[in-house]
Structure formats: structure tokens, C-alpha cells
Copies of this chain bind each other. A is one copy, B any other.
Amino acid sequence: MEKTSELVSPRQAARAIDVSESSLKRWCDQGLIQTTRTAGGHRKIRLADIVQFARERGLSVGDPELLGLPPINQHSAPGSAGLQSAVALLVQALLDGSELTARQVIFDLYLAKHPLSRIFDELIGLAFREIGERWACNQADVYQERRGCEITQRILIELRRLQPVPPLTPLAIGGTIEGDNYSLPTAMCELVMRDLGFQTIPLGTSIPIASLVKAVQHLRPKVFWLSVSHIRDDIDFVTQFAELSEICGANGTALVVGGRALTEDLRQRMAYSAYGDTMQHLEGFAKTLFQAAAVKKQ
């Protein structure tokens, strides 16, 4: 087994994306792939950079193990399979606890240049809706759903490693409120924001709003995302949320909210910068915001 490291050699990279070592080195020298050099002149390539390159050029990662990534399965021809059949595959993998298959399904789509937001909305989101339905019909057990969450969370963390390291400029933070322990949506928010170029700090789950307020004050982010899957007390939530909203306003922080717990009725009693049902909504909003911030900077 190859050594797992943040930096890979040209040979590892070349084998992984199935091109010759010569070509890879040439691309490095042309500046297509960012590289650093050792004192003796050997190239070192960041894992995220090589994956990013492969993604842009539509090259499939044929041998991920060389990059310290998990091995591939036979299923799922990249791209051709499409999101639809991928959902069914993912549902089955998650229910079976087959982490490898699940990972491969998601990675394939990611490498096939699908935007993260669409993968989240139209693959993972749908998969968990499907699992929820089966659970309701007693065709699936709670532990299967939880295990699926666990697996998915790990996959998200590994996806994060493949993202290019964002510059330090605009900061986005977020988390979930006290009593809400559903960590997947907030993890997805983070990846979407990072993909747009934000530096991100996930605060975690089940945090009292009072503490979220402090986090905004300490870290002064450009964006605060809040995914609400569960609310203990509506009235408490609304009053405390008002404070968070106010602090965000005072700090110039855009407050983006979402989550299935935010009913129409509830939203009318809240003040925020944007609301989104889906990750694609979040991406759309944050993209305009990021461009605005970038322009302002110049």
C-alpha cells in the first residue's frame, strides 16, 4: 500500500489519472498543475491539485489507491450512469453498510465534474429521502439509517480533502442549533462554500444560539449558514434567532438559513439574508455574494 500523504510524486499522480509520467511533468512545468520542489529539484504535487486538475480535464481517476484514496468497484461507469441510477445504487449501498460502493458512487460523480451542490441535492438528498420512506414502511431499520449517515459523513470529510485549499479571504462559518444533531446538512453546506472559494469553519452541531452569536462576534465571518433540521421550542427559537440575526447585521455577516424544520409559518417570523431549500440555492446565493466581496476587495 502506498504511503498516504498530502504531497504525491509525479509517478503516483500519473498512474492515478492514467497518463504518462512525461505528460504529467510537462503539465507541471507549463503551470497547469501547481507544484512545489524539494531542495534537490524533485516535484511534489498536492493531492487536491491533482484531483482538481483531473476534474477539470475530465480525466477519470483510474487508480485512486495510489493517491491514498479508496479503491474502486466495478459498478457505475462515470457520467454515463447519471444521477438517477446512482441514487438507487447509493441507497442500497448505504442500507447495506457498504462504504466502498457508496464512496465510489459519490466520487465518480464528483470527478465527472458534477457540481457538489447537485450531488448533494439530487443524489445524497434523494437517497436519504428514499431511506426515510423505507424506514416509514418498516423496510429499513433505524441503525441502517444512522449507519448510512455515518458513512456519508466520512465520505464528505474525504471529499473535503480533495478540495483545493481556499485562500484566507472571505470566511464562512455555520453549524446547527442546540437539540439539532443532524450533521449532514451543515457538512454539505461547508463543502459547497469551500467549493466557491470561501474559507470555512464548521462549528459543529447542537450549539446554543447564544454561543453562535459569540462565534459570529469572535470570528466575524462574511457568511453564516444555519441548517435547521429540528427545533425544540418554536417560540424560544424565534426570539433567540432574532438576536443572531441582529448580530449578523451588525457585523456585516450574511445569514443564510435552510432546513426542513423551517416551515413557512416560522420563516415569516424570522429575519435573514437568504433562505434556501437546497444546496443549489445556497450556492447560487453565496456565489453572488462571493463575487461582490471579491470586487469590493479590488
Q: Which residues of A contact B (CB under 8 A)?
A: 1, 4-7, 18-19, 23, 27, 30, 32, 36-40, 44, 57-60, 68, 97, 141-143, 146-147, 149-150, 154, 157-158, 161-162, 164, 175, 181, 201-208, 211-212, 214-215
Assess whether B141 is in contact with A211, with CB atoms less than 8 Å apart.
Answer: yes
What is the oligomeric copy number? 2
Q: Nearest Cβ distance between residue A160 and chain B, in whole angstroms?
A: 8
With known contacts A141-B215, A147-B201, A38–B58 Cβ distance under 8 A: no
* Interface pairs (30), CB distance under 8 Å: A1-B164, A4-B161, A5-B18, A7-B18, A7-B60, A19-B38, A23-B40, A27-B39, A36-B58, A36-B59, A36-B60, A38-B57, A38-B59, A68-B161, A141-B215, A142-B208, A142-B211, A143-B204, A143-B207, A143-B214, A146-B203, A146-B206, A147-B201, A147-B203, A150-B202, A150-B204, A154-B157, A157-B157, A157-B158, A181-B181
Residues from chain B with a CB closer than 8 A to the CB of A203 are 143, 146-147, 150
Select one of B36, B58, B143, B214 contacting A57, CB under 8 A: B36
